[in-house]
Structure formats: structure tokens, C-alpha cells
Structure 1
Amino acid sequence: MTAALVATSAAGAALAAPVSPVQEARAAGRPPAVTPACDGHETPAATEGPLFKPQSPERGDLITPAIRGVRLDLTGVVYDPDCTPLPGTLVEFWQCDQNGDYDTSGFSLRGHQYTNSRGAFRLRTIIPRDYWGRWGRRAPHIHTQVQAPGGPVLITQLYFPDDTQAYGRDFAALNAADGLINRACTIALTGPHDSAYTGAFDFVIKTTAQ
């Protein structure tokens, strides 16, 4: 892991969109698109939070025998602001489990990977649960750090549409009550199919400090 991963980023401003892109697509009778589409705007940053651990294992599959929960297969592409895919980009993920607990002694539901020659990544994990933290009750989210070779680190959090179904939780209410949520960082979901979701999210990041 590079030392730059310790860098901090400004917290993303909360957006008040009441309807997710997936809900809009379903209402219009069309398949949900990858969210957000690359339009030159960088993915909003967010607070790192207190539970990041360096030196996570390099892996794209976070499902271990001890993990139970609603499965999520997340894919995406990392772009620069000119919408050029970025091969070899470091993408780090960490999250809580189906009970709202983070593994602070080991590396359960933690890992990093590098984008392939097309700038793409794939993550096999679970939908996290909401939990109480230092900022109050947090809506379900996945923490990420994204860094092109030699570039600055983007720290952000990925959220779930209001109509997500997992653990009997009301995602719409949880999202509405979370003061840190940024709706621009909502994963596009399809499913559930066989009790599992397929998700997509593309990152747009800087490749230089300027």
C-alpha cells in the first residue's frame, strides 16, 4: 500500500434527491444505467471514518465462510476527468457486516485490488447493514479509496437505493436520516435475484494533484 492512502479528503455534501436512479429507470420501464455516467465531474469525496486499516489483502472476493448476508456483485470502471479508463488503479473497499459490525482485529470484509487493462474492477461482497457510529445512525454504505498510479487519493462512500431489500431494514428511512449521505454516490442495483444483487458504480478521479 502507498503512503498516499493515509491522505484525507473533504466530506461530500449531502444531496437531497428523494428518488434513486434505479427507481427512476424502473418507473420508466428501462434497465438501470451505470451510475454515475462519466461526464467529466469527479466522484464526490467523503469522510474516511475511524475504521480504515492499511495493508488489507489484495482480493476482489470478500466472501469468506464466516460471512453471512445478502450477496452483492459490484462492478465498475475508474475514469479520469476526460473519461479515459485508468488501468492499474488501486481500489480499496471496507465495510461492516450484516450485523453492522466492522472487523477491527482482522481483515474480514476488507480488501484492495487494481483495475484491469480496461480500467475495470469487480467486487464480490454483501450488502452492509446500518449501524450507530460517532455521527449517529449511518445508512448502509461501503467505504472506498481510489488512487491512480502517482495520483491523489479519492476517499468516498457508496450508498444503496431506497428500495434495497436486506435484513428487513427500511433503506429509504435510513438514507433520509443519514446526514452524511451523498445521493450522487448511489450504487445502481438490479435484483434481488436468488437473494443476491448486482450493482454498478463508476469512479471519476484525478490523476494529478492539480
Structure 2
Amino acid sequence: MVPTRRSLLSAFLTVPILHQLTIRKALAQSASLELTPACGDDDDLTLAREAGAFYKPNAPLRHELFNDAPAGESITLAGLVLDPDCQPIANSLVEIWHADETGKYDTSGFNLRGHQFTDENGRWWFSTIVPALYPGRTRHYHLRVQRPGGTVLTTQLFFPNEPRNEGDYLYSDDLLLEVSDSADGKFGRFDFVV
């Protein structure tokens, strides 16, 4: 039986954080391509990328973005915000914005835009859609991450195996989501190291 996005998110939110980090380190050691940059030293901080032309401040506080584009393909994005010593950072700001299912950004309101703060274990998540291709770019999400009292990391996350990845000047393997299929959409995972 294939799990649902809700069951995958529930498992992510209930499994103890130390256990999650141990599992991820073990998987990273056996993988040929490390999808989420590992923490461990300052050289492994998450890469910055430009915000792009469609950033808007003051996005609403919310986890659920899917209702802004119900015709889109469902995806739940989740992950951790970690410091360079692999410790989770509570109360970190995580902000997201992206194109809709037709490749357009909402420039008059706050559709497919939101922010939240990580929980006490450094976890964040959004329920949203898979964005359509935007002219001249590969499929991607824009995010801003800021640990309490820290500088803002502005970056972008990308999908694996996208034909346009290699031609996108902002693309990097270090910013690939881990994406899996579920019974009701996709589940994407990325841990930020700030």
C-alpha cells in the first residue's frame, strides 16, 4: 500500500529528530548523490540563489497553500532547519513563493505564498502544488530561511530529473529536493543548513 502525503508528513512530524538525523546521515553515506547538503562544517551551508522578480514581503503565516491552485498537482514539502553542527534550529523563519499550475506568479495577492516558523525540533512544512515551468526556467520553488538573529538565506529548490535543469543558470544539484510519490500526490524533502 502506497502511503499518503498526510501519513508521510505525520511520520516526519512524530519521529524523534535525533532518529531522523541518524537515518539521513546513514542514507547519505550510501547514496551516490547526496541530495540534501550535509551539515558538519561551514562549507556545507545551503547555497544562496536570487529571489527573482516576483518576491513580495508580508506573505501570510500559513502551511496550507494548495487551495490557492486546486487544479495543480499536490505536493507536501517538508524538512529541517539545521545549524552547521547538525543541530535543529527552532523558531526559524521559512518563507515560500512559486508559480502556479500554469507557470504564472500572483503579483496582486498572496496566492502560493506563505511563511511559517520551525517548531521546537527545527521542522517546517508546506502543502502546495508542483509549479509549472516558468518561461526560461526549470521547475522550482523560491524560499527564504532565517534562523533567529541570523542573516536571511534566499535560495531556490529544484526537482530531480527535470529536462530543463541543466540549462537553467540558477540550477544546482545541491538544491535538489528529494521527491517521492504518494497515493495522493508527491512528497518533497529538503533540509536547510544555515
TM bracket (short chain): 0.7 to 0.9
| Equivalence for 1:149 | 148
TM-score by length of 2: 0.78
Q: Does 1:183 align with 2:170?
A: no
SS at 1:53 equivalent? coil
| Equivalence for 1:8 | none
1:178 shift after superposition = 1.0
Hey, what's the Cα distance between the residues in 2 that align with 1:118 and 1:39? 18
Hey, what's the Cα distance between the residues in 1 that align with 2:187 and 2:34? 12
Gaps of 5+ in 1: 1-24, 163-170, 206-210
SS at 1:64 equivalent? helix
| Equivalence for 2:56 | 53
1:66 shift after superposition = 4.2
Higher helix share: 2
| Equivalence for 1:89 | 92
| Equivalence for 2:21 | none
1:183 shift after superposition = 1.4
Matching of residues 7-156 of structure 1 within 5 Å: 35-40=36-41, 41-64=44-67, 66-132=69-135, 137-156=136-155
Cα pair 2:94 2:117 within 8 Å, conserved? yes
Hey, what's the Cα distance between the residues in 2 that align with 1:42 and 1:86? 14
Hey, what's the Cα distance between the residues in 2 that align with 1:74 and 1:58? 16
1:180 shift after superposition = 1.5
1:195 shift after superposition = 5.1
Hey, what's the Cα distance between the residues in 2 that align with 1:125 and 1:199? 11
Q: Does 1:160 align with 2:163?
A: no
Cα pair 1:67 1:97 within 8 Å, conserved? no
Hey, what's the Cα distance between the residues in 2 that align with 1:86 and 1:105? 33
For 2:46, the aligned partner's letter is T
SS at 1:131 equivalent? coil
Hey, what's the Cα distance between the residues in 2 that align with 1:159 and 1:185? 6
SS at 1:138 equivalent? coil
Cα pair 1:70 1:195 within 8 Å, conserved? no
Aligned-pair identity in percent equals 42
SS at 1:68 equivalent? coil
Gaps of 5+ in 2: 1-26
TM-score by length of 1: 0.73
Hey, what's the Cα distance between the residues in 1 that align with 2:178 and 2:129? 15
Evaluate the alpha carbon distance shift between residue 34 and residue 161 of structure 1 in structure 2; reply closer, same or farther with a 3 A threshold.
closer
Cα pair 1:34 1:200 within 8 Å, conserved? no
Evaluate the alpha carbon distance shift between residue 126 and residue 74 of structure 1 in structure 2; reply closer, same or farther with a 3 A threshold.
same
CA RMSD of aligned residues (A): 2.0
Aligned length: 163
